[in-house]
Structure 1
Amino acid sequence: MNDKLDGVATFVQVVEAGSFALAAERLNLTRSAVGKAITRLETRLGVRLLHRSTRSQTLTTEGQCYYERCVRALAELDDAEASFDISRVEPGGRLRVSVPEAFGHWCVAPVLLDLAQQYPQLQIDLSFTDRYTDLIEEGVDLAVRIGELRDSTTLAARHLGTQHIVIAAAPAYLAQHGTPASLADLADHTGIAYSRAGVIAPWDARGPNAQTQPVRIRTQISMDDVQAIASAAIDGHGLAWLPCWLVARHQASGALVPVLDSYRVRSQEIYAVWPQVRNLRAKTRVAIDALKARIPEMIGT
């Protein structure tokens, strides 16, 4: 009897990847092996699933129908396996996690490294990137995101804490340029800004009265990495707005000091995000629980 699942996962991956080459890369197979798997599947079914050319591929009418049913069938199998996985005493398997670079380095990695020691069968694959990661498209089990979440019907999320942003500078910079006593004083200073795709994030400060006020400051340098911004501030290039947990680390060594203590530039929410499933696998669940337990203390919330 033929294995009815033979080639199904490969077919779904080819459709979702958009090309045989990318599907082969994700499946760790050769392009030829992927092509042969699809051919065998079409031969067994007696229909053509894909229109193929040298530059593109499109689903046939039969292929579209079959793809939709395959996705549902594979999801049911995943849920069935997950229901067994939940009952396991020890989580195991490969856990792919995507995290922001600086926050991931200082806050998430220590938690997951401890988790790996606690569960020897758990394999942690940690990716550090500030770009938006498509969890489903890229096969990621769990991500940590900072800021407002996009609306999604395919992702689930859990709040991990609130990251407060403060203004800080090197003692040498303040000795040379003076310590600002009010937001108005910042107009006489140089700021090191955070930017993404050439867009500089504004410095909108919230004072003791909880009202938000715009900050006027000359920006000479902008970067898309908060660790680089912290290094530039330590070297005396200006005032920087940085996460409180990062400032605290450098404040302990005397490299940075916060200014305008009663003001915060802004706050950002931190979330764990994962693909929505009926039964969450144990490996993902223990990681989320560990992050929820330890992140608030790490960031001072």
Structure 2
Amino acid sequence: MTDNLDGVATFVQVVEAGSFALAAERMNLTRSAVGKAISRLEARLGVRLLHRSTRSQTLTAEGQAYYEGCVRALAELDVAEAALDHGRAEPAGRLRVSVPEAFGHFCVAPILLDLVRQYPKLQIDLSFTDRFTDLIEEGFDLAVRIGELRDSSTLAARRLGTQHVVIGASPAYLERYGTPTCIEQLENHVGIALSRAGAVAPWNAKDADGSAQPVRIRSRISMDDIQAIAAAAIDGYGLAWLPCWLLTRYAKSGALVPVLDNYRVRSQEVYAIWPKARHLRAKTRVAIDALKEKVPGMIGE
């Protein structure tokens, strides 16, 4: 009996990835295995689905029509599987999660790794990156994002808490240069700045009542990695703006000291986001619930 679904998911992945190599990476297969699956599918159907060259691939007219039908069929199967999954007590399967690098290492990973202990049939695949990821295009089940949300039409979201960014410095730095007691005194200090694509983030701060305070401070070092900024602050290179959860971690060991506790550089919302679906899989649901339960305590809410 012919399996009409054989190679269908691979074909859809190839079309959506835009290349055999990327589709193979997403599916944890070799490029050769993906190519053979497409060839078998074309042989079974008796039509060519893709025009392939060494540099590009395009759908044939038959391939475009077949792709649209496959997407609809797989969506129906996904709904059916999700309905079955909803009735199971134990989450199972592979959960792909995209997380920010530092926040992912210190806050998200410990929570999700605990789920692996609780649910033997659950598999966690974590991707650590600070770049913007397209969940649907890249095949992620879940992501954690800090800051403004996009893609509200295709993604669902759940707020996990608020991340406050505050000021810290090493005891050695403060002993040498003094501890500022107000924003105005920062102009006598050196700061370690956060940069993105060469653009340095502003050093504006907010006081306890939310009023914005312009900050004048010399900055000779800028980096695009929060952990590297923290390391430079620990080594005494200057004051640093750090997420509250990271500063608290180093303050407990005495490596850093909070400065100007009443001021916050900025506050950003933390969200769990996932592709909108009629039924939320158990594996995704338990991850979201665990993050909602534990993240607020980790970030000081």
* Same fold at TM > 0.5: yes
How big is each residue's C-alpha offset from its partner over 1:20-46, in whole Å with a ceiling of 9 and x where there is no partner?
Answer: 233233334443443343333334434
Matched, 1:132 2:132: yes
Are 1:143 and 2:108 matched, yes or no? Answer: no
Structure-1 separation of matches of 2:223 and 2:154? 32
- Partner Cα distance (2:174, 2:78) in 1: 57
Query: In 1, Cα distance between the equivalents of 2:259 and 2:24?
Result: 53
Matched AA of 1:127: S
- CA distance in 2 between counterparts of 1:54 and 1:235 reads 50
* Equivalence for 1:11: 11
Counterpart Cα distance in 2 of 1:174 and 1:265 = 19
Cα distance, 1:162 vs structure 2: 0.1
CA distance in 2, matches of 1:115, 1:167: 33
Does 2:38 correspond to 1:47? no
Paired with 1:226 and 1:33, the residues of 2 have a C-alpha distance of: 40
Q: Secondary structure at the match of 2:78?
A: helix
More displaced stretch, 98-107 vs 284-293: 98-107
Of 33-42 and 174-183, deviating more is 33-42
Superposed CA RMSD: 1.7
Give the 5 Å matches for 1:100-139.
100-139=100-139
CA distance in 2 between partners of 1:276 and 1:261 (Å): 40
Residue 193 of structure 1 pairs with residue 193 of structure 2:
yes
| Letter paired with 2:62 | E
Alignment correspondent of 2:61: 61
Task: Give, in whole Å, the separation in 1 of the partners of 2:151 and 2:5.
Answer: 33
Which residue number corresponds to residue 245 of structure 1?
Answer: 245
Report deviation, 1:148.
0.8
Q: How many residues align?
A: 301
> Offset of 1:12 from its aligned partner?
0.7
State the partner residue of 2:165: 165
Number of the residue aligned with 2:227: 227
1:101-139: CA deviation from partner (whole Å, max 9, x where unpaired) = 211122112211222221122122222222222222222
> Within 2, Cα distance between the matches of 1:100 and 1:39?
38
Which range moved further: 3-12 or 291-300? 3-12
2:28 and 2:101 mapped to 1: Cα distance? 26
Q: 1:250 is aligned with what amino acid?
A: Y
- Counterpart amino acid of residue 182 in structure 1: C
Identity in percent: 77
1:256-271 map, 5 Å:
256-271=256-271
Q: What is the distance in 2 between the residues matched to 1:166 and 1:131?
A: 23
Tell me the SS of whatever aligns to 2:221.
strand
**1:242 Cα offset (Å):** 0.5
Q: 1:266 and 1:118 mapped to 2: Cα distance?
A: 36
Cα deviations by residue, 1:9-68 (Å, 9 ceiling, x for unpaired): 121111112122332333344434433433333344343322222321111223222212
Give the secondary-structure state (helix, strand or coil) at the position aligned to 1:47.
coil
Distance of 2:115 and 2:27 partners within structure 1: 27
Instruction: Summarize the Cα distance change of 1:36–1:127 in structure 2 as closer, same or farther, 3 Å threshold.
Output: closer
Which amino acid is the alignment partner of residue 78 of structure 1? D
SS at match of 2:148: coil
Partner deviation per Cα, 1:67-86 (whole Å, 9 max, x = no partner): 12211211111111111111
Deviation of the 1:94 alpha carbon: 1.6
> What stretches of structure 2 of length at least 5 have no aligned partner?
none
* Compared CA separation, residues 110 and 29, structure 1 to 2 (3 A): closer
Measure, in 1, the Cα distance between the counterparts of 2:54 and 2:245.
Answer: 52
Partner of 1:263, secondary structure, is coil
Segments of structure 1 that go 5 or more residues without pairing to the other structure are none
Deviation at 1:277, TM superposition (A): 1.4
Structure 2 CA distance, aligned partners of 1:27 and 1:298? 33
**1:152–1:31 Cα change, 3 Å:** same
Moved more, 24-33 or 222-231: 24-33
